[in-house]
Amino acid sequence: MKRRQFLRGTGALGATGAFALLGGCEQPSTEPQSPIAYEPGKPVPWINWAGNQSCQPQHRPAPASIDELVSVLKNAKGTVRAVGAGHSFSAVVPTDDTLIATDLLSGVIDHDPVTNTAQVLSGTRLHDLGYMLADIGQALPNMPDMAYLALGGAIVNCAHATGVNFGSMGSYVNSLRLATVGGELLECSPSSNPDIFKAALTSAGALGIVTDFTLQNQADFDLTEVNKIEPLEDMLDDIENRKANNRHFELFALPHASVGISVSTNPAQPGDKAQGQDDPQAVNTLRDVFNAIAWIPGVGSRLYDKLLTAVMGNEAETIRTGKAHEVLPHVRIVRFREMEYTVPAELGPACLREIMATIRNKQLPLSFPIEYRYVKADDIWLSMFQGQDGATISIHQYGDLDYRPIFAELEPIFWRYGGRPHWGKLHTLKSSDLAELYPKHWRDFLAVRESLDPDKRLMNAHLKELFGA
C-alpha cells in the first residue's frame, strides 16, 4: 500500500471507533468559512483569502489606468485602502470607507532586453507575471512559494522566498512610482526621492499606492526542486552546509514528529526529470492522522511520531523541474492562517528547536507543517531583513480552527530571539514594540508617512496600531 493510501486509511480512524466517542485533541472548528454575511441593502463585504479579515466598503473603485488611480485616490472619501489579491492575514486592507482595487492595473509596461529590467504594474498577479516575463526572455530572480499575490501587495508587505543570496522582493526593485493622497505621482529610486523610495518598499500601503515597479530581473532560466523526508535534527545539524550549497533551501518541520521535509532547489541540469507528484492535500492527510492518534492519553504523540517516521522514512524523493516561475511556487488550496517572524539567521535553528520542544512538551494541538527559510539582508527601512540576514519561521493553523491559542503560546518565543513580524501576517505587536525592532529607521519612516499623509487618510485601525498615528 502506498504511503498516501496508508496515511489516509489511518486518518479515517478519526471518524470511527474510540476517536469518534472520545473526541480528538484538536480544537473544535470555531470559525465560519465566511466571517461576514451579505445583508441586502448594505455594501457587499470584502473578505480576504484566509477568511479572517473583512470589511464593508461604501466605495470600491477599480481604476483602469494610472491617471485614473491618481484621481480616484486624491478624491476618495474617508479612510482609503488598496487591495490586490487579498492574501494578507493581517488587517492591512480593511476599511468601511473607500477600498481601491488594483486588479485592472496589470501587465508589463516596458522592458529592456539588455539590462533585463521590466516596468510592471502593481496589480499584476505573480502567477501571471512569470509567464509575461518569460515571453520577453526574463525571469524574477526568486519568487514566493505562493504565486497568487499581487506584485504591489507582495512588495510593500515584504514578501520573500528562500535563499541566502536572495533578498525580499523589494530588494529587486530599481525604481517605483507612488500615487499620493495629495494627487501627486512621485518618481522614486535611490537617486530620486531616495527616502520615500526606501520607505515605500516596505510600507504596508501607509504612504500611498505604488502604481508600478521597475524590476531588476535576469534571463529566463530553469530550476530543479528536490523534496526529501529526513530527520529534522539531521537537517538542522547540517543547516550551514545546506543553505550555502543550494541556490534555495528550506525545510518543513512536522509538529510532534522527528522527521521533516527538506526542499533543495538548484539550476536544472541536462537529464533532470520530474519524479512523484506535489500533493496540495498532504496537510489535510497529516491532520487526519494526527486526529486519529494524538488523542490517546500518554502515548498518542509518540505513536504519531513513530507512524510518520516508519511510513514516510523510506519515501522516495519528489522532484519538480522546469521554468523557474513554475517550480518556485506551489499550489495552496488548503485554507490557513499564518504567523511569521524573522529572527537573526544565526539564531534560527535554536528558535525552531525551542518552538518544536514547546509544541511537544505542552502537547499543543498543531499538525500543520512549520516552514523555515533564509533571506539575505537589505537596507529597506522596514524590511524584516534590514541590516541582518534572516531566518524566517512560519506557523500555520487550519482556516476552520481558532489560531489564537496556538499563536499566543508560540509568539513569545520569537520575541526572545529578537524576531520581527511579517507585515502581512498575524502578530500582536504594537508601535512601541516595533520601534525597538527597527531602531535605525523607524522615526525616519514615520516622518515620511506624516509628510505624505498628514491627515491620516490611509490609516485604518490596524495601521494606526502599527505606526502610532
222-275 residue pLDDT tens: 999 999 999 999 999 999 999 999 999 999 999 999 999 999 999 999 999 999
Q: Please give the model's pTM, rounded to 2 decimal places.
A: 0.93
Q: What residues pair up with 46 in beta bridges, in sequence order?
A: 55
Residue 209 CB-density burial (10 A; 0-12 exposed, 13-18 middle, 19+ buried): buried
pLDDT digit string (tens) for 282-314?
899 899 989 888 778 777 788 899 888 887 777
Mean pLDDT value of segment 62-83: 98
pLDDT, position 2: 43
Greatest Cα pair distance in the chain: 68
- Sequence spans of domains, the chain: 46-101, 108-220, 222-426
Query: pLDDT-based confidence at 30, cuts 50/70/90?
Result: low
Q: DSSP states of 94-162 as a string?
A: --SSEEEE-TTS-SEEEEETTTTEEEEETT-BHHHHHHHHHHTTEE-S---S---SBHHHHHHTT----
Query: pLDDT-based confidence at 26, cuts 50/70/90?
Result: low
Rounded CA separation 34/48 (Å) = 9
Rounded CA separation 387/136 (Å) = 34
Residue 409 CB-density burial (10 A; 0-12 exposed, 13-18 middle, 19+ buried): middle
* Separation in Å, CA 43 to CA 50, 52, 60, 238, 458: 20, 18, 10, 54, 20
Domain 222-426, CATH among 3.40.462.10, 3.40.50.720, 3.30.1330.120, 3.30.70.1400: 3.40.462.10
pLDDT, position 27: 55
Is the per-residue pLDDT at 415 higher than 50? yes
413 contacts 354 by C-beta, under 8 angstroms:
yes
Rounded CA separation 98/101 (Å) = 10
Reply yes or no on domain 108-220 having CATH 1.10.357.10. Answer: no
Give me the half-sphere count of Cα atoms (radius 13 Å) on the Cβ side of residue 253: 29
CA angle 149, 255, 372 (to 5 degrees): 45
Written as one letter, the residue type at 447 is A
Sequence-distant (6+) residues with CB within 8 A of 50 are 87, 89, 335, 336, 337, 338, 399
Rounded CA separation 340/415 (Å) = 12
Interior/surface letters 123-143, b for 16+ CB within 10 angstroms, e for the rest? bbbbbbbbebbeeeebbbbbb
DSSP single-letter state for residue 195: H
